[in-house]
Structure 1
């Protein structure tokens, strides 16, 4: 019984170790691409975008007469 469990765990270990780099590669490439895009945009553009979003989505008080 121990030999069956050990061989199943060995097979699972080899499957995980063998497939993990291939499964993580697209995620790493996506984060690298996102980093390149974010680095290409200047900081003041992000600041301007944040100000525009804040002005567009702030809560306005109703006018009272």
Structure 2
């Protein structure tokens, strides 16, 4: 017996659920990265140094 293919609507629902989970995972990872930055003076110093070097070159940084 051949298994039936999922209906188009079911595939769309699955795809949407997967994308929603991926977005939630990304937001959680971003939140964790921000917390790690806030709690780590070494990372803050590195970013400050990069900011200084970019300012010298006139290279803007996109802040998220």
- TM-score tier, shorter chain, comes to 0.3 to 0.5
Normalising to structure 1: TM-score of the pair? Answer: 0.41
Greater fraction of residues in helix: 1
Normalising to structure 2: TM-score of the pair? Answer: 0.41
Q: Which has the larger radius of gyration?
A: 1
The structure with higher relative contact order (CA 8 Å, sep 6+) is: 2
